[in-house]
Amino acid sequence: MSDLEWLFQVIEDRRAKPKPGSYTNELFDAGEDRIVQKVGEEAIEVVIAAKGQGDARLISELADLTYHVLVLLAHKGLSPDDVLAELERRHR
């Protein structure tokens, strides 16, 4: 199992079995508007980091964006495998 698969399973587990104080559960409880807002904010921060804040900052922002995208996928009942299938379809 890859680390991203592990992280997605943790996110799915939080959705199924909420844990008090969990940021992931705060996002699920806040709903779709908040989740997509965070994806948008993190995407902007990735662009800003890429334009001159250095590799460490870029990696940090990409990690934040990846996490929030995984939360969005879980919220929508989708998975990273759905995204990979689309990428494979495009490659053909």
Taking the domains of the chain in order of start, what are their residue ranges? Answer: 3-91
Per residue in 5-34, pLDDT (tens digit) is 999 999 999 999 999 999 999 999 999 999
Cα–Cα nearest to 48, from 65, 32, 35: 65
d(CA 89, CA 68): 24
Structure tokens that stand for 36 in this block: 């997509």
Per residue in 26-85, pLDDT (tens digit) is 999 999 999 999 999 999 999 999 999 999 999 999 999 999 999 999 999 999 999 999
Distances in Å between the alpha carbon of 81 and those of 9, 54, 85? 12, 31, 6
CB < 8 Å & 24+ apart, contacts of 14-18: 15/74, 15/75
Please give the model's pTM, rounded to 2 decimal places: 0.93
What is the CATH code of the structural domain delimited by 3-91? Answer: 1.10.287.1080
